[in-house]
Structure 1
Amino acid sequence: MSCGGHSTFFRFGCLFLLMALILDVIGVAAPYWIYGEANGLKVYAGLWKQCLSANTPDLKISKCTEYGDVPDWFKSVRASGLLGIFISVIALISAILKIRFKDRVFVLIIVIILSFLSAVCTMVSIAVYAGKYHASEKYSSFVKFSFAFAFCAVSIVLSAIAGICMIIELSKRSSYTTIVGR
């Protein structure tokens, strides 16, 4: 055990939770889930906006618009992405509470469950988006997935790693404490 009664695994778990939250927020908010560029024309879109930029001798334009009427699958992608962020925030707050309540293992169990639940929500978000995108754009080589999509994918991995770190912390703590504390 290190200073304050928490091991390095707990600290790394908290760090991974924070990094996953930051990447997930950037990924869900940025208009770069897909990106395409050819002949001076740039197209990019995210969960909230779609943008077009052209810089050719005939046309110079740069415009972003919010989506009008979106299909239900797109609403579910947005909802599960936002739910993943919300659950990550609660997991991080719970981890901070665990620092305050050192002997309460149930708080650590809540952090573990929430970190994996956050990963699942974000995974559903990108899986549905990728499936629908692939079905509609499978013959296009113009538009590809971009960094915001990748950030959400990385946040899944970081949330899972945070959960694993917390499980290791729990297994170290279970040798000298019970579920209700000391």
Structure 2
Amino acid sequence: MGFGQSSLFLKIGFILIIVALVIQILGVALPYWYQKEYSSSVSANGGLFRFCTEISNTKSCSNIENASDWWQAVQAFEIIGLLILVASLVLCIIVLFIKNDMKVLKLINWILCFCACGFIIIGIIIYGAEASGVLEEYSGAFAITIIAGIVALVAGVVCLLDWMGKGTPA
């Protein structure tokens, strides 16, 4: 009952969960969900929690306070998605290295992956719907958050295949 007896799908799922978690952490933390250039010397960018402006090569950043309800909803969905990915990673470590014969843990793991994907994508949809008229250009952190949601979905599919017994021990 260890890494050697784990299926190939579980090992791939483990790697995908780590990748999704790292990408989601970057997407939530980086202040580049949107970017706008007002003139050649004035630009602004921001993320879920910080807003930065650059005026004549002088950059200043501040925390976003008193955000609108939809903004707080996006923050909540993205953070919950991140926390679910952490829970999925912990459970996958347990299944991969300690208890790989317990199907109920594998079941919970793939459900967590799909839930993480759902929360991340719902946050992205809210942001895309509400910010489209206000913030003109989506930026890199928004894009990598989309990628994190897709990778979490793929991890869920791979872990589901493992739960179904499709993977043979590698």
Which one has the largest radius of gyration?
1
1:173 CA drift (Å): 6.0
- Equivalent position of 1:125 in the other structure: 123
**TM-score computed with the length of structure 2 as normaliser:** 0.90
SS of the equivalent of 2:132 reads helix
SS of the equivalent of 1:35 reads strand
CA–CA separation in structure 2 for the residues paired with 1:70 and 1:169: 42
Equivalence map 1:93-108=2 (5 Å): 93-99=90-96, 100-108=98-106
User: Residue 167 in 1 paired to residue 160 in 2?
Assistant: yes
- Equivalent position of 1:157 in the other structure: 150
1:55-92 residue CA offsets vs partner (Å, 9 max, x unmatched): 2xxxx531111123111111111111100000000000
Equivalence map 1:31-180=2 (5 Å): 31-37=31-37, 38-55=39-56, 60-99=57-96, 100-137=98-135, 143-172=136-165
User: Residue 11 in 1 paired to residue 4 in 2?
Assistant: no
CA–CA separation in structure 2 for the residues paired with 1:61 and 1:97: 48
SS of the equivalent of 1:44 reads strand
CA–CA separation in structure 2 for the residues paired with 1:14 and 1:108: 11
CA–CA separation in structure 1 for the residues paired with 2:111 and 2:30: 27
Query: What runs of 5+ residues in structure 2 fail to find an aligned partner?
Result: none
SS of the equivalent of 1:70 reads coil
1:174 CA drift (Å): 9.8
Amino acid at match of 1:63: S
Larger relative contact order (Cα-Cα within 8 Å, sequence gap ≥ 6)? 2
CA–CA separation in structure 1 for the residues paired with 2:124 and 2:114: 16
Q: Kindly, what percent of the aligned residue pairs are identical?
A: 24
CA–CA separation in structure 1 for the residues paired with 2:84 and 2:76: 12
1:36 CA drift (Å): 2.1
1:9 CA drift (Å): 1.3
RMSD value over aligned CA atoms? 1.8
